Amino acid sequence: MEESGIRLETKLIHAGAPENPIEGAVSMPVFQSSTFLYCGQGSYHDLKYIRLNNTPNHVLLHRKLAALENAEAALVTASGMAAISAVFLAFLSPGDHFLAQECLYGGTHGFITKDLAGLGISCDFFDGDDPDSWENLLRRETRVMYVETMTNPLLGVADLQAVADFSKAHGLISIIDNTFASPVNFRPPEWGYDLSLHSGTKYLNGHSDIVAGAVIGRGELVEKVTHTLNHLGGSLDPHACFLLDRGLKTLAVRMRYQNDSALEIARFLEAHPKIENVNYPGLESHPRHQRARDLFDGFSGMLSFEMTGGVEAAERFIGNVKIPFVAPSLGGVESLITRPATTSHSGMPPRDREALGISDTLIRFSVGLEATDDLIADFDQALKK
Ligand code: PLP
């Protein structure tokens, strides 16, 4: 279908679907076939095979994800980390150097500091708020600049426009992990980013029942990542493709509800005497609130906070909430609560966590689709205990 001028909500339902529904099915069937008949393809990457991420279920998602961020191309992967690792390995070779934002998802941080460093690929971490400091970090062998839309778990918002502009000016590939925002709140290609990555496990799927990832952006770069991924083998199973597409159809309604709910909960927490600070870009008190307003259509369903009383009080609070599940991950229909020091960032050395401001008492909350008032009442009772 013609996609220009079509709004995101409509793309979520229809973009990428076959022109003529297969056997009249309004829902894309699952093509659970590892291999497909040879039709004279001249290139290895054009053979139809699940590991090459090119079955009809993959193709639908590639078209849909590209349409959602108004990009040239997209690729689905076996997980968010498969997307991240394939992208780094596609563009960096031993001896190369790149720049990455200081505060990142723990898995990404570990991949950079352990795996890539082990391959002889070096990184300097940059302060996303201080563009004047970036030039000093450049080397002749610098190739990539990497950032997160809203940092995990502190919800910082770097000068994202400056990152895209700086990358362009210095011939670097700009890459952004857009997991926390989702295409509903932010579309990186519109701001000049070369590649946008997602853990599709989170908001894109939204139901905490698969792991998946995505790479979205410029056609020739996505093709290069595809070839690397074809060799690494991080393809998405067709049934997971089906579930990801099903989840995507409700992304806009879920995300907007979660945006609104998170803001109300952040406001409740900010006003509570037992809460020391709340990290949420939608709050006027967030140090980069105006920047977030300029960049985003919504502020996401993620927030983090610290309470008085140290780790013991934080653990007691988490133990006393009744509605959210105490679990890592995020972006699902069910609220999830966790202490990043024990889960998403437990692989990061404590001194690195401390330097970034990820304290042992920090609590991260992923707002689900439960009634906002019920979540606030639940937090209120748990804070009283
Ligand atoms: N990026 C961010 C911001 C994440 O929070 C995560 C996981 O929590 C990932 C990437 C990795 O995603 P996955 O678990 O799907 O590999």
Residues in Cβ contact with 175 at an 8 Å cutoff, skipping those fewer than 6 apart: 87, 144, 145, 146, 147, 193, 194, 195, 196, 197
Task: Give the active site residues.
Answer: 51, 105, 177, 202
* Residue percentage of the chain with pLDDT more than 70: 99
C-alpha 112 – ligand 1 centre gap (Å): 14
Is the shortest distance between the CB of 152 and ligand 1 below 6 Å?
yes
pLDDT at 2: 43
β-strand partners of 366: 302, 336
* pLDDT tens, residue by residue, 79-106: 999 999 999 999 999 999 999 999 999 9
User: What is the rounded distance in angstroms from the CA atom of residue 174 to the CA atom of residue 157?
Assistant: 16
C-alpha 385 – ligand 1 centre gap (Å): 33
Distance of CA 3 to the CA centre of its chain: 24
Of 152, 175, 202, 365, the one to substitute when testing ligand 1's pocket (max ligand atoms within 8 A of C-beta) is 202
Task: Name the strand (E) or helix (H) holding 80.
Answer: helix 80-91
Half-sphere exposure of 142 (CA within 13 A, CB side): 23
Residue 3: pLDDT band (50, 70, 90) is: low
Other beta carbons within 10 Å of 95? 10
* pLDDT tens, residue by residue, 20-57: 999 999 999 999 999 999 999 999 989 999 999 999 99
Other beta carbons within 10 Å of 187? 20
Write the residue with the smallest CA distance to atom 15 of ligand 1. Answer: 80
C-alpha 49 – ligand 1 centre gap (Å): 26
pLDDT at 1: 42
Write the residue with the smallest CA distance to atom 13 of ligand 1. Answer: 80
Of 77, 186, 201, the one to substitute when testing ligand 1's pocket (max ligand atoms within 8 A of C-beta) is 201
**Please, what's the b/e burial string for 300-317 (b: 16 or more CB within 10 A of its CB; e: otherwise)?**
bbbbbbbbeeeeebbbeb
CA dihedral 67→73→75→81, nearest 10 degrees, is: -90
Residue 80 identity: G
Q: Give mean pLDDT, residues 96-124.
A: 97
Other beta carbons within 10 Å of 359? 17
**What is the pTM assigned to this prediction?**
0.97
Of 59, 16, 82, nearest in space to 215 by CA: 82
pLDDT at 297: 98
Write the residue with the smallest CA distance to atom 6 of ligand 1. Answer: 199
Instruction: Judge contact between 197 and 179, C-beta under 8 A.
Output: yes
C-alpha 344 – ligand 1 centre gap (Å): 9
Q: Which atom of ligand 1 is nearest to the CA of 201?
A: 15
Is the shortest distance between the CB of 153 and ligand 1 below 6 Å?
no
Distances (CA, A) of 332 to 180, 200, 326, 353: 12, 11, 13, 26
C-alpha 62 – ligand 1 centre gap (Å): 19
Is the shortest distance between the CB of 201 and ligand 1 below 6 Å?
yes
Residues in Cβ contact with 369 at an 8 Å cutoff, skipping those fewer than 6 apart: 254, 257, 258, 261, 333, 334
Q: Give mean pLDDT, residues 335-357.
A: 93
Q: Which atom of ligand 1 is nearest to the CA of 104?
A: 3
Distances (CA, A) of 325 to 92, 279, 374, 378, 382: 39, 20, 14, 12, 14
Instruction: Judge contact between 286 and 292, C-beta under 8 A.
Output: yes
User: What is the rounded distance in angstroms from the CA atom of residue 214 to the CA atom of residue 110?
Assistant: 20
pLDDT at 344: 87
Instruction: Judge contact between 153 and 362, C-beta under 8 A.
Output: yes
